[in-house]
Structure 1
């Protein structure tokens, strides 16, 4: 079949179905020719190859009235093959459209995917003439229209947000009540059986690990492994095809969003705009490298090589206006067309760089801040990368929240019983003001977490002193060694009742502390039911039962812990002083002499500088005082033994009623209230939360 393209339009970029035909538009400043390649319905045979007829404002474009949704396509881009000057054009390589809304098929690793001759003496300076189409996925023209009905974003205020970090496949692959064809998919995650778990848990937002198109790295495939986490994006608009059920389509993601919204749960996407799956100069030519390498990537002083701040071989060049446009268009697409409620940005320091320098006024931050769509959604930074001065915790602009790894490490150290950890924990409990209280930022800017996908699960945190990453086949050299973990006396699983009881006690204390801290708490998928990765703290390549949530195997201890977590989440959601909208500094409340927060010793007197400086101090009381007379007392004791604690007297609290006792895992126990000045036993390795009965 022979087709003739009409001139079309240079905007919008991508393949746009208008009801009559499809406009194709591709940015490339340095190309000399761009060919649109059409394929049959299976993606195996190239049916047409047509040069885009127009080049306007560095955009190649054309219009095909004969094309309809479902058409498979790709590009071949001609230009100089001059790696020493940053140009890596090779028209023999089929390329993914950066604006593709869907992809058909997966990469099948073959040397033809590389723009140079693998193993050639000249390395990446050589030129490979093999056609790569037979091992490349194909782009799909789609009609993006979807039936949203009465869908409305939940718009949960930041101060009320509780995040659940989840993996699409890991959350559903072992769910016994899901049809097999839906397990591990967006459609599976959208099923009532899964959403019910989230609703009962009480979380308000699901943060999905990378769900944009990505592929398994060649070195993993050759070892029989897979890229489970997905932090090597190649398509910023297309959902990962592996999460679409057989016979399904990209609209399954929209179904997932709509059903979570119906349950009052927001959807946050973990996105990777700092690098792509093409790696360094020895990586494959899949899309950006072959379209316009010198524009899309930051190149080194020697343009043959990349300026890499990500540890993944390349860094996306967000200072180029067209590359910035790509990322902004992608973000707006997920909000406008897919109704997502926000984003968590992987290695976000790279997004604010001008090579070596991180800048608050970086073009990406400024673009997001002024954008009428993106400035209103939730924005979360992973505030570090691998480049110079890459650790930027607390330095992101107003409107952003940040993963607070200092909170994580301080929380772990305190409950492990490390000396000198009390002052750091105290700052964390109040939202880490020393990091975030600037330019009008609020306590919610601190994303508080004990565990995340990168590192030990909560069960493993209390079961292993050392990482056990041997299944990754990297000699246990991958993953970090700074785990701040404690195996409670036995490395790995144990049937010793004392060890199990200690691990249960500590996980209850850790989760309680997380949920009563000012800031935004984040729970890791499966921590609420004891999910273990057998000590693997870098399970990025383990797409198997070692990382999937084992729904059918909740033992009685884990079932009891799940119920405890649910109840503590409910306490947080019902207790305004635990989620303040402003930082607390011991200032007067209203016109009285009562301060908004007090730190108390076990004798109920104020903590002194000497008390804070004592390296063996492992217990403290935190009194929160509200303007309406509310009083909440939080008692923490990381000592192994119980301590007597004198309850403070309060002008508005006639009695103290116990809300949470992490030692025994009880919430709102039926017991008589305590009186002011009464001495109570503060259990070892436990948290008590008490509420003052207002007179």
Structure 2
């Protein structure tokens, strides 16, 4: 009877009224059995009596949601319990003490059969247009762990992100889309375990479909869905940062959790002697192998279907288009996404590089993908903080990096612009440190990027000197005003809205402590910046988003763009070699709304002559810590090292 219920697809554990179908792809593991565990951890061994194309499967009558299970395989060290790669939940936080032996595998986290019934209360998805999207990169635990007004039981959890205190904050800041750092189950690397540290960021995936249990009070599956539902009810999208480029099993000698035991030579790219490491993390997941491609696509559909996720940011996404040493824009993964009726509707954001050959692929991803624009980051930081004056490059980045992303494909192909990300200095540290201070990571300060393009304004680290503090706050405003009023999708590091410092640590991936936990005890200056940023985000939505919409697609050539000297004259070829004070004029159609950017990179105030035709309204002047609406008409005195944005209807 149950043989008819047994099916090779879908892979994983699939419930029905009569029991559960278990299916696993394991072409290199002929001697594999299903193990079911009861509440006392007693085990029942079940044979996988059916086979098809490297898949072993069976149906087990009477299995209910919550059943703990795994698979038993034989290796040189003995009988090992492995996770189901398709596991949709784990029974505990993954942890082990080195070495991860076959014996130790039986005390490790196990797979859990999951029922995805959930009342979504007919909550619609926000579907925020690209040109209105504000990405807010958020760590589930780190952003709420120290919130002073939140009930302690919710701090650092999925449910913490949807508490009234957080919802009020997100709404006040004008955030449209939370980009969550990895919430898939994660296992810390062996070298961190030896130092009694953890991978706090989560970029070391264990099971692609299982939510990270560290962030749950009781049930990660239900609590994560509750978080998404509540955020959706307040019009906020949820974007998942997801890691498919490598797995937590590392390279040769690394732990064996599943893939290495099931199909060592194919899931993970192999040179014949060792694992190929195009990611810097020990191995490379090979999407040119059909079962690898299948699990990635099944995983994406899983999160969209069962968790109503609005989009994904793909870590080291060049790996997804690899055919070993080469990147292929027409690769199977991209084609599969483009034809999938579910996945082609969500936001797709690529980190368009990895560390392998031909790994830098900015601007080369297919239509329908947005890309993290590190050229914007480097140019804008270099301009404001490092006394670089590449105004041609700055102009290109402000105007949407159209050398890489054609405006004819906007708004769906807008670049994702950013100044700070989880890796690197926070915004506050960019203006407070010249050098990285990563000793807490236990790697003798050798880790982390050396090219930070930061400027401490004369003193390394925290200071009470008011003149230095003023310079730092002004530079923060310069960076964020440039970000918010450039053509593209702005990406904001969540802790930057609180002016959080990591004390100069630019690689705090293993710091599950106050270095990474957002500091909600704000100084007067930090409160001013938080409020200024919220007002600037609102101003972007009101004034900049319509310009992005108008400059996109077939109508992009019907508008006015002029680059001017401070005296109002048009810039010439010589001016583009290093003019310190200049202006950008944007006008819609022949006589529509106008924006004027007054950019003063010099160390002295500069008077600008404004285009005639009526009064201009001041949106912001970054030399001022507050937005002061006022009107001007003929000239404007622009302070040194600052930016003013004007609007005229």
Q: Judge conservation of contact 1:9–1:62 (CA < 8 Å) in 2.
A: yes
Displacement of 1:291 in angstroms is: 1.6
Per the alignment, residue 638 of structure 2 pairs with 682
**Residue 330 of structure 1: which of 277, 282, 299 is its match?**
299
CA distance in 1, matches of 2:408, 2:45: 54
Displacement of 1:5 in angstroms is: 8.2
Displacement of 1:426 in angstroms is: 0.6
Per the alignment, residue 106 of structure 1 pairs with 93
CA distance in 2, matches of 1:578, 1:296: 46
CA distance in 1, matches of 2:581, 2:196: 49
Report the 3-state secondary structure (helix = DSSP H, G, I; strand = E; otherwise coil) of the residue aligned with 2:192. Answer: helix
CA distance in 2, matches of 1:90, 1:99: 25
* Residue pairs, 1:289-328, within 5 angstroms: 289-300=260-271, 303-328=272-297
CA distance in 2, matches of 1:308, 1:589: 45
Report the 3-state secondary structure (helix = DSSP H, G, I; strand = E; otherwise coil) of the residue aligned with 1:75. Answer: strand
CA distance in 2, matches of 1:629, 1:193: 40
CA distance in 1, matches of 2:28, 2:305: 31
1:554 aligns with 2:514: no
CA distance in 2, matches of 1:475, 1:112: 24
Q: Judge conservation of contact 2:314–2:349 (CA < 8 Å) in 1.
A: yes
Report the 3-state secondary structure (helix = DSSP H, G, I; strand = E; otherwise coil) of the residue aligned with 2:616. Answer: strand
**Residue 607 of structure 2: which of 629, 644, 649 is its match?**
644
Report the 3-state secondary structure (helix = DSSP H, G, I; strand = E; otherwise coil) of the residue aligned with 2:79. Answer: coil
Q: In the superposition, relative to structure 1, how do residues 235 and 626 fare at CA in structure 2: closer, same or farther (>3 Å)?
A: same
**Residue 181 of structure 2: which of 205, 209, 222 is its match?**
209
Displacement of 1:636 in angstroms is: 1.3
Displacement of 1:306 in angstroms is: 0.8
**Residue 428 of structure 2: which of 453, 459, 463 is its match?**
459
Displacement of 1:221 in angstroms is: 2.2
Q: Judge conservation of contact 2:619–2:629 (CA < 8 Å) in 1.
A: no
1:269 aligns with 2:240: yes
Displacement of 1:51 in angstroms is: 1.5
Q: In the superposition, relative to structure 1, how do residues 140 and 588 fare at CA in structure 2: closer, same or farther (>3 Å)?
A: closer
Q: Judge conservation of contact 1:645–1:679 (CA < 8 Å) in 2.
A: yes
Q: In the superposition, relative to structure 1, how do residues 168 and 253 fare at CA in structure 2: closer, same or farther (>3 Å)?
A: same
Displacement of 1:330 in angstroms is: 0.3
Q: Judge conservation of contact 2:316–2:353 (CA < 8 Å) in 1.
A: yes
CA distance in 1, matches of 2:31, 2:242: 31
Question: What is the TM-score when the length of structure 1 is the normalising length?
Answer: 0.90
Displacement of 1:445 in angstroms is: 2.5
Q: Judge conservation of contact 1:167–1:208 (CA < 8 Å) in 2.
A: yes
Report the 3-state secondary structure (helix = DSSP H, G, I; strand = E; otherwise coil) of the residue aligned with 2:595. Answer: strand
Report the 3-state secondary structure (helix = DSSP H, G, I; strand = E; otherwise coil) of the residue aligned with 1:658. Answer: strand
Coordinate RMSD, CA, aligned: 1.9
Q: Judge conservation of contact 2:390–2:577 (CA < 8 Å) in 1.
A: no
Per the alignment, residue 631 of structure 1 pairs with 594
Question: What is the TM-score when the length of structure 2 is the normalising length?
Answer: 0.96
Cα offsets for 1:585-608 (capped at 9, x unmatched): 9x9975xxxx52111110111111
1:260 aligns with 2:247: no
Q: Judge conservation of contact 2:211–2:220 (CA < 8 Å) in 1.
A: no
1:662 aligns with 2:633: no
Mind listing any 5+ residue stretches in structure 1 that lack a counterpart?
82-88, 115-129
Per the alignment, residue 119 of structure 1 pairs with none
Displacement of 1:179 in angstroms is: 2.3
* Residue pairs, 1:94-173, within 5 angstroms: 94-111=81-98, 113-114=100-101, 130-173=102-145
Q: Judge conservation of contact 2:367–2:413 (CA < 8 Å) in 1.
A: no
Displacement of 1:154 in angstroms is: 0.4
Q: Judge conservation of contact 1:334–1:340 (CA < 8 Å) in 2.
A: yes
Q: Judge conservation of contact 1:632–1:689 (CA < 8 Å) in 2.
A: yes
Per the alignment, residue 44 of structure 2 pairs with 48
Q: Judge conservation of contact 2:407–2:556 (CA < 8 Å) in 1.
A: no
Q: Judge conservation of contact 2:212–2:220 (CA < 8 Å) in 1.
A: no
Cα offsets for 1:366-419 (capped at 9, x unmatched): 111111111111000001101001111111111101111110011111112523
CA distance in 2, matches of 1:645, 1:449: 28
Report the 3-state secondary structure (helix = DSSP H, G, I; strand = E; otherwise coil) of the residue aligned with 1:233. Answer: coil
CA distance in 2, matches of 1:216, 1:461: 28
Per the alignment, residue 117 of structure 1 pairs with none
Moved over 6 A (4+): 4-7
**Residue 604 of structure 1: which of 564, 568, 574 is its match?**
568
CA distance in 2, matches of 1:566, 1:152: 25
Number of residue pairs matched by the alignment:
646
Displacement of 1:578 in angstroms is: 6.1
Per the alignment, residue 506 of structure 1 pairs with 475
CA distance in 1, matches of 2:580, 2:3: 73
* Residue pairs, 1:531-542, within 5 angstroms: 531-542=500-511
Per the alignment, residue 428 of structure 1 pairs with 397
Which range moved further: 469-478 or 604-613?
A: 604-613
Displacement of 1:619 in angstroms is: 2.5
**Residue 574 of structure 1: which of 537, 542, 557 is its match?**
542
CA distance in 1, matches of 2:536, 2:145: 28
CA distance in 1, matches of 2:552, 2:273: 52
Per the alignment, residue 29 of structure 1 pairs with 27
Q: Judge conservation of contact 1:346–1:381 (CA < 8 Å) in 2.
A: yes
Displacement of 1:484 in angstroms is: 0.2
Q: In the superposition, relative to structure 1, how do residues 584 and 684 fare at CA in structure 2: closer, same or farther (>3 Å)?
A: farther
Q: In the superposition, relative to structure 1, how do residues 437 and 508 fare at CA in structure 2: closer, same or farther (>3 Å)?
A: same
Q: In the superposition, relative to structure 1, how do residues 258 and 234 fare at CA in structure 2: closer, same or farther (>3 Å)?
A: same
**Residue 59 of structure 1: which of 23, 35, 55 is its match?**
55
Which range moved further: 412-421 or 348-357?
A: 412-421
Q: Judge conservation of contact 2:407–2:551 (CA < 8 Å) in 1.
A: no
Cα offsets for 1:648-688 (capped at 9, x unmatched): 12xxx421121212111332x243x222xx22101112111
* Residue pairs, 1:193-592, within 5 angstroms: 193-245=165-217, 247-300=218-271, 303-437=272-406, 440-442=409-411, 445-551=414-520, 553-576=521-544, 579-581=547-549, 590=558
Q: In the superposition, relative to structure 1, how do residues 252 and 267 fare at CA in structure 2: closer, same or farther (>3 Å)?
A: same
Q: Judge conservation of contact 1:95–1:291 (CA < 8 Å) in 2.
A: no
Q: In the superposition, relative to structure 1, how do residues 507 and 294 fare at CA in structure 2: closer, same or farther (>3 Å)?
A: same
CA distance in 2, matches of 1:499, 1:324: 52
Report the 3-state secondary structure (helix = DSSP H, G, I; strand = E; otherwise coil) of the residue aligned with 1:239. Answer: coil
Report the 3-state secondary structure (helix = DSSP H, G, I; strand = E; otherwise coil) of the residue aligned with 2:136. Answer: strand
CA distance in 2, matches of 1:54, 1:112: 34
Q: In the superposition, relative to structure 1, how do residues 528 and 108 fare at CA in structure 2: closer, same or farther (>3 Å)?
A: closer
CA distance in 2, matches of 1:216, 1:353: 26
CA distance in 1, matches of 2:184, 2:557: 47
